Structure 1
Amino acid sequence: MIAEKAVLGSMLKENYLITESGLAVSQFANPVHKMIFQSMKELRASGKAVDFVTLLTTFSPQDLGGANYVKDLTNYAHIEKFDDHVGAMLDVWREREKQNVLQIAGQENWPIDRVMSELDALMDNRVSDHANIFDLLMDVYEDPFTEKGIEEGAPSGIGKLDEMTNGFQDGELVILAARPSMGKSDVMLHIAKNAGWEGRLPIVFSLEMSDTSLRDRLLASTGRFSRIRMRDPYSLFSDSQKGNWVKTIGRVAETNIQFFDRSRQTVAEMRMKVRKMIHEFPEMKPVILIDYLTLIHSEDQVANKHLQVSQITKDLKGMAREFNCPVITLAQLSRAVEQRHDKRPLMSDLRESGSIEEDADIIVFLYRDAYYSKDEKDNVLELIVSKNRNGPVGTAYAAYNKFTGEVVGIGADSERAIS
């Protein structure tokens, strides 16, 4: 029953979890907990706040286990572990329902296919994934005869890349991979701010850099300020740069980017934070960006790194589908790249490449020839789309300024950007 108390306590602290959880009253075992959850749902449906006071003044305290019992629930609350507690609660519910099914099946002599069907249905307890082909076909019946725009995903701000992907699509897991110092974080921020300017809600999980460092990078790339000068704008900025400062701050503010910069975050913790942001900004579709994959903390305490990464990528793909939004994750490449004459990355260069390649919908490698040639005039950044589940592969080109972090898309046929 502790899991049920933790679920109810978390709901008292964060009311949006009452509806977001997708739970039914029948899935609680304790009769008092059933009454509390039903009362919460009724208050929530009426638009009222759900807390200790409203529960006890709207409903009979005796039916809810008494004032002390309701008040004590908040001591069990753990928002970041909410999904785990829901999972534990549902495991108990499934076992209870399984025993009921088997008992009734024995009494009524059900055929084996009905028993299997009922048991399978227990796994589908929070949202239905059933779709009738008839309904699916009706959705597209008029498509050849009715003009409608193509739904574009979250933009990258790099023209050729957006052509190949039609923007990053809802439910997709996107991997941006490169060796260190290729510009991964700057490309991530470029995508975040362009998505924000197009009305999306960029949610950035930075497991390595602080939120202030990312803020400064955004200001530098947007205002075209040298990062060296950004260390002391008062002394090092020119008058024109100081004049552009307030305008740049206003432009960056329009991105509405949300940062979470605590290290060693798990996917479960990220889900809870995304859910809260969606509740706070219900009118905006999120885009989730994570820096970076192997810094995500695994909840599975197994020594095998490959198994950990495999589970994390599956969880990230599940998160993309759960929130129906793109999840864009940065990844490091192995040192094998450095051993080849052509140092453009390959799929095999991905660390723990098997699981990443399997779960990702899009894999984009970043490559700058200037990193190896040391040619200061060469500012071309290649974005090599090596996997695209729903579109073509190929290479997009951008001009990259390593001093400001600015990324600007250039023509697909250009071999070198114009300085």
Structure 2
Amino acid sequence: MMAEKAVLGSMMKENYLITDANLSVSHFADPVHKMIFQSMKELRASGKAVDFITLLTTFHPQDIGGANYVRELADYAHLPTFDDHVTVMLDAWRERETRNVLHIAIQENWPIDRIMNGLDALLDNRVCDYASLSALLADVYEDPYIKKEIAEGAKAGIGALDTMTDGFKDGELTIIAARPSMGKSDIMLHIAKHAGWTNRLPLIFSLEMSATSLRDRLLASTGRFSRIRMRDPYTMMNDKQKTDWPRTVGRLAESNMHFFDRSKQTVAEIRMNVRKMINTYPDKKPIIFIDYLTLIHSEDKSSSMHLQVSKITKDLKAMAREFNCPVITLAQLSRAVEQRHDKRPLMSDLRESGSIEEDADVILFLYRDAYYSKNENDLTMELIVSKNRNGPVGTAVAMYNKFTGEVIGNA
């Protein structure tokens, strides 16, 4: 019953969960909880807010457990673990329904195939994973004769890379990895703003850098302002830069980018915030950025780092599929890179590389020779696509200004 209270309390706190959770009254075991959830659904359907006041003034308090009971539900709300509580609820519901099916089967002497069908229907009430080949073929039967709108991936704004990957695809997990100071965060921000300018919803989960730092990086790279000058724009910027400032601010505002910069976020917390933003901006397709992989907090501290990373990458891939959007995650490389004569990254340089190689759809390495040669005139950045599940691998080249963070993708 605790899980049911947590689910109802979270729904009172965030009303969109009432419909987004895809639950029905029958999933609740407690009769009072059934009444509360039904009342919530009716209020939500009528366009009213669902809270302590509306529940008690719209319905008979005794039918929904009384004022104190409804008030106390809010104490059980915990949004980051909402999905876990729903899972507990559904598992309990399946156990009840399984016992019910078996009881009726014994009473009515069901044949074994009917029993199996009844039990199979309980395996997953939320997502249907069945599709017949005939139905799938029917969907594409007329494709050669009728022009259809082709869903494009989110473009990186780097010509050669977009040609190779055809953009970042919905449902795919992309890993962007490099050694420190190679430009990972700047590449991420470059991709994010271009996605925003093409009507995507960029959601950036920054586990290391603050939102204000990301804002300043975006201003520097978009306005071509030196990061040194950004420390004190009033004193250090010239007249032209000050004139360009409002236009840069306005252009960045158009990207509709959103930051979540609390450290030690879990995948469950990230998923909850994504769901909330999707409900806030229903007309925009999200694209999720996470900086960076090994800073994602694991709830299982008893296992090894390898197992923790493996669980996290699988959860990130599942999240990409759940929300049908690209998930782009930054990752660090091991120091083994520094021991080789050719310091271009390899798959084996990924920390805890096994699970990352397995779960990622695209693995992209960044390499700048100027980082090692100290040649200030060399602006070349190599974007090495080492894995591309649905396309070719190879190297794209861009120009990168480390002083502003600007990435020029038409090189």
Deviation per CA, 1:204-255, whole angstroms, max 9, x where unpaired? 0000000000000000000000001111111111111111111111111111
For 2:385 and 2:221, how far apart are their aligned partners in 1? 24
SS of structure 1 residue aligned to 2:65: coil
User: Alpha-carbon deviation of 1:149?
Assistant: 3.8
Report what 1:414 is aligned to: none
For 1:163 and 1:245, how far apart are their aligned partners in 2? 32
For 1:106 and 1:307, how far apart are their aligned partners in 2? 44
User: Alpha-carbon deviation of 1:86?
Assistant: 1.3
1:65-144 alignment runs, 5 A limit: 65-110=65-110, 114-144=114-144
For 2:352 and 2:119, how far apart are their aligned partners in 1? 35
For 1:190 and 1:114, how far apart are their aligned partners in 2? 56
SS of structure 2 residue aligned to 1:217: helix
Report what 2:52 is aligned to: 52
For 2:82 and 2:308, how far apart are their aligned partners in 1? 21
1:302, 1:308 within 8 Å by CA — same for their partners in 2? no
Report what 1:163 is aligned to: 163
1:11-26 alignment runs, 5 A limit: 11-26=11-26
- Amino acid corresponding to residue 24 of structure 1 in structure 2: S
Report what 1:263 is aligned to: 263
1:401, 1:407 within 8 Å by CA — same for their partners in 2? yes
Deviation per CA, 1:233-282, whole angstroms, max 9, x where unpaired? 11111111111111111111111110000000000000111111111111
SS of structure 2 residue aligned to 1:386: strand
1:216 matched to 2:220? The reply is: no
1:291-302 alignment runs, 5 A limit: 291-302=291-302
SS of structure 2 residue aligned to 1:215: helix
User: Alpha-carbon deviation of 1:314?
Assistant: 0.5
1:409 matched to 2:388? The reply is: no
For 2:50 and 2:134, how far apart are their aligned partners in 1? 41
User: Alpha-carbon deviation of 1:41?
Assistant: 1.2
1:287, 1:325 within 8 Å by CA — same for their partners in 2? yes
Deviation per CA, 1:178-202, whole angstroms, max 9, x where unpaired? 1111100000000100000001110
Deviation per CA, 1:137-186, whole angstroms, max 9, x where unpaired? 22211110012343211111111111122111111101001111110000
Moved more, 350-359 or 72-81: 72-81
Report what 1:353 is aligned to: 353
- Amino acid corresponding to residue 389 of structure 1 in structure 2: R
Q: Give TM-score scaled by structure 2 length.
A: 0.96
User: Alpha-carbon deviation of 1:44?
Assistant: 1.2
User: Alpha-carbon deviation of 1:392?
Assistant: 1.1
User: Alpha-carbon deviation of 1:110?
Assistant: 4.7
* Runs of at least 5 residues in structure 2 that lack an aligned partner in the other structure: none
User: Alpha-carbon deviation of 1:115?
Assistant: 4.3
Deviation per CA, 1:334-374, whole angstroms, max 9, x where unpaired? 11111111111111111111111111111101111111111
Structure 1 residues 109 and 363: CA distance shift in structure 2, 3 A: farther
1:309 matched to 2:309? The reply is: yes
- Amino acid corresponding to residue 410 of structure 1 in structure 2: N
- Amino acid corresponding to residue 5 of structure 1 in structure 2: K
Report what 1:381 is aligned to: 381
For 1:403 and 1:113, how far apart are their aligned partners in 2? 69
1:35 matched to 2:15? The reply is: no
SS of structure 1 residue aligned to 2:63: coil
Report what 1:323 is aligned to: 323
Report what 1:251 is aligned to: 251
SS of structure 2 residue aligned to 1:382: strand
For 1:300 and 1:315, how far apart are their aligned partners in 2? 13
Structure 1 residues 59 and 155: CA distance shift in structure 2, 3 A: same
For 2:4 and 2:205, how far apart are their aligned partners in 1? 29
For 1:41 and 1:149, how far apart are their aligned partners in 2? 36
- Amino acid corresponding to residue 269 of structure 1 in structure 2: E
For 2:116 and 2:163, how far apart are their aligned partners in 1? 46
SS of structure 2 residue aligned to 1:192: helix
The count of aligned residue pairs is: 411
User: Alpha-carbon deviation of 1:90?
Assistant: 1.8
SS of structure 1 residue aligned to 2:74: helix
1:232 matched to 2:238? The reply is: no
1:267, 1:315 within 8 Å by CA — same for their partners in 2? yes
- Amino acid corresponding to residue 6 of structure 1 in structure 2: A
SS of structure 1 residue aligned to 2:162: helix
For 2:26 and 2:17, how far apart are their aligned partners in 1? 17
Structure 1 residues 5 and 97: CA distance shift in structure 2, 3 A: same
Moved more, 396-405 or 84-93: 84-93
User: Alpha-carbon deviation of 1:33?
Assistant: 0.6
SS of structure 2 residue aligned to 1:144: coil
Report what 1:333 is aligned to: 333
Report what 1:189 is aligned to: 189
For 1:75 and 1:132, how far apart are their aligned partners in 2? 45
- Amino acid corresponding to residue 78 of structure 1 in structure 2: H
Moved more, 143-152 or 359-368: 143-152
* Runs of at least 5 residues in structure 1 that lack an aligned partner in the other structure: 412-419
1:22, 1:127 within 8 Å by CA — same for their partners in 2? no
Deviation per CA, 1:285-328, whole angstroms, max 9, x where unpaired? 10000000000001122231110000000000111111111000
Q: Give TM-score scaled by structure 1 length.
A: 0.95
Structure 1 residues 67 and 361: CA distance shift in structure 2, 3 A: same
SS of structure 1 residue aligned to 2:395: strand
- Amino acid corresponding to residue 89 of structure 2 in structure 1: M
User: Alpha-carbon deviation of 1:47?
Assistant: 1.6
For 1:157 and 1:115, how far apart are their aligned partners in 2? 55
